[in-house]
């Protein structure tokens, strides 16, 4: 239920903001708006405002639209022709069309500005042990290594490391590493390994670069209310000694047992206030990176000194927060374009395309993690939607802007016949992309 509600909230917010961008620009330009719909198909609710605009909520929530008064769609009375979209000068038409994606970028900037102003914390990128045979293992990376910099640029969180590695497509990745003993060294991941990993559905996992953390004692710091751990009777301060009679020397071993249990229950032997107890817990099964994993809703107790060293707090003043929000939005937009370009060139696998099922899954996971991760996820999806809509593909806003650019260069509108043919090509291309994305979603779902 959380996943469904988070998905619907994500779609609703992004669609409304995008279409409101078109709507606001049209009102500014003096264009009459006939219909504003969130969703497609049969209206579930609608009303008409004092301007004559019909506002509707439709049954299929995978999109929305704003329809303007336009002589190309229906006859327009002589006294209303000045309000028709097709009668507007090229500049106004361009602004109206571009306003939707721009609204998505503005939403992302506002969300990121709020996060930067409120403050949030991340953990420094500490690597788990690399699987044998992976490029990371062959490069000498070990569990507990901390990544300090990538190609000379400081790295202080896992997301920055992931994005930086995905962007290292033409040269080797140079990692500055600090191991668990505090010794520093440099590790090189060859460019050939980076390019080969990009051909898979999960490039970082293919490289063997997995998130981890320093060794922790198997002591519980807190449990999620109503989660499997809480329902089984686990409490803060409990130290787990064994799982199914197998000794548990550290938190990583406990997590491994839990993650591998997607059916049945676990028997935990633990110590509480000097007494031995035995409890049974049934892990909750979740989907993560295309795998079914068990979770019980418990967090480890960490050494406060180590935690402070691992944790990075991001908090800015109003102006600095806005600067960083704009910079982040720009960087993610360019990153998205580069990844799309590399897919077209065959340098990155189309398996990285995600459809509505994956988006729903990520929305649910981020919502369960708290409002800060969900807001960050919403900003990321809003940027992706803005970039996608600006692509010069007929049927998208970017396709219309391409027509207007050609009109500006040639001095006259693109002929209707050419636009009609281009629309068909655009529909075919979008259906192909949607098919790939849905296929990837189903492949990940069936793999679980």
Do residues 187 and 238 share a domain?
Answer: no
Residue with tokens 């043919």: 421
| Spatial distance between the Cα atoms of 235 and 221, rounded to a whole number of angstroms | 8
Q: Which residue's structure tokens are 């229906």? A: 74
Q: What is the pLDDT of residues 163-176, one digit of tens each?
A: 777 776 557 788 89
Residues 324 and 444 in one domain: yes
Are residue 359 and residue 388 in the same domain, yes or no?
Answer: yes
* Whether residues 395 and 425 fall in one domain: yes
Pairing state of beta strands 239-243 and 266-272?
Answer: antiparallel
- In tens, the pLDDT along 84-112 reads 998 999 999 999 999 999 999 999 999 99
The answer to whether residue 80 sits within a structural domain is no
**Distance separating alpha carbons of residues 23 and 178, to the nearest angstrom:** 53
What CATH number corresponds to the domain at position 235? 2.30.42.10
- Looking at 19-28, 102-111, 282-291, which range is the least confident one? 282-291
Residues 119-145 have a mean pLDDT of 82
- The C-alpha atoms of residue 427 and residue 51 are separated, in whole angstroms, by 33
248 and 278 fall within a common domain: yes
Range of the domain at 168: 135-213
> How many domains, the chain?
3
- 339-365 pLDDT per residue, tens: 777 777 766 666 666 667 777 777 777
Closest CA to 234 of 249, 218, 246: 218
Same domain (yes/no): 109, 146: no
| Residues linked to residue 88 through DSSP beta bridges, in sequence order | none
Whether residues 244 and 156 fall in one domain? no
CA neighbor of 342 nearest in space, from 445, 203, 438: 203
Catalytic residues: 19
Whether 72 is covered by a domain: the verdict is no
Distance between CA atoms of residues 146 and 149, nearest Å: 9
Greatest CA separation for the chain: 88
Contacts of 406 (CB under 8 A, 6+ apart): 414
| Structure confidence at residue 415 (pLDDT) | 87
Tell me if 210 sits within 8 A of 130, measured CB to CB.
yes
Domain-embedded: residue 77? no
CB within 8 Å of 400: residues ≥ 6 apart? 97
pLDDT reported for residue 200: 61
Instruction: Quickly count helices (H) and strands (E) in the chain.
Output: 14, 16
DSSP 321-335: HHHHHHHHHHHHHHH
Whether residues 202 and 228 share a domain: the answer is no
Q: Rounded to an integer, what distance in angstroms lies between the CA atom of residue 317 and that of residue 152?
A: 27
Q: Is residue 1 part of a domain?
A: no
Does some domain include residue 409?
yes
pLDDT of residue 422: 82
């Amino acid at each position: 239920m959380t996943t469904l509600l988070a998905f619907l909230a994500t779609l609703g917010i992004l669609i409304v903001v995008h279409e409101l961008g078109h709507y606001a620009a049209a009102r500014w330009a003096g264009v009459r708006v006939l219909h504003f719909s969130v969703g497609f198909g049969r209206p579930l609710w609608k009303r008409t405002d004092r301007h004559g605009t019909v506002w509707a909520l439709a049954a299929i929530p995978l999109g929305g639209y704003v329809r303007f008064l336009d002589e190309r769609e229906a006859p327009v009375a002589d006294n209303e022709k000045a309000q028709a979209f097709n009668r507007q000068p090229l500049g106004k038409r361009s602004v109206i069309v571009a306003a939707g994606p721009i609204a998505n970028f503005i939403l992302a900037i506002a969300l990121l500005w709020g996060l930067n102003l409120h403050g949030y914390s991340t953990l420094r990128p500490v690597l788990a042990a690399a699987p044998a045979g992976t490029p990371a293992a062959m490069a000498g990376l070990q569990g507990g290594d901390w990544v300090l910099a990538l190609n000379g640029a400081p790295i202080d969180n896992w997301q920055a490391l992931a994005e930086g590695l995905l962007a290292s497509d033409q040269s080797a990745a140079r990692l500055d590493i600090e191991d668990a003993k505090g010794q520093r060294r440099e590790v090189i991941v060859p460019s050939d390994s980076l390019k080969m990993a990009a051909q898979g559905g999960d490039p970082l996992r293919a490289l063997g670069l997995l998130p981890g953390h320093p060794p922790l004692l198997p002591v519980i710091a807190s449990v999620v209310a109503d989660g499997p751990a809480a329902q089984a009777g686990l409490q803060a301060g409990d130290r787990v000694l064994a799982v199914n009679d197998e000794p548990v020397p550290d938190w990583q071993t406990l997590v491994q047992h839990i993650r591998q249990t997607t059916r049945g229950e676990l028997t935990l032997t633990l110590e509480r206030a000097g007494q031995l107890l035995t409890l049974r817990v049934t892990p909750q099964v979740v989907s993560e990176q295309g795998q079914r994993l068990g979770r019980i809703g418990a967090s480890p107790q960490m050494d406060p000194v180590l935690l402070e060293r691992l944790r990075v707090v991001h908090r800015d003043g109003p102006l600095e927060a806005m600067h960083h929000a704009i910079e982040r939005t720009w960087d993610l937009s360019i990153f998205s374009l580069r990844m799309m370009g590399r897919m077209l060139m065959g340098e990155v696998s189309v398996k990285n395309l995600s459809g509505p099922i994956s988006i729903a899954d990520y929305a649910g996971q981020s919502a369960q993690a708290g409002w800060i991760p969900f807001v960050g996820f919403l900003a990321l999806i809003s940027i992706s939607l803005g970039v996608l809509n600006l692509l010069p593909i007929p049927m998208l806003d970017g396709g219309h802007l391409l027509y207007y650019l050609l009109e500006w260069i040639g001095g006259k509108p693109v002929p209707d016949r050419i636009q009609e043919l281009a629309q068909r090509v655009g529909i075919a291309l979008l259906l192909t992309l949607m098919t790939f994305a849905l296929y990837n979603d189903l492949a990940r779902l069936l793999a679980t």
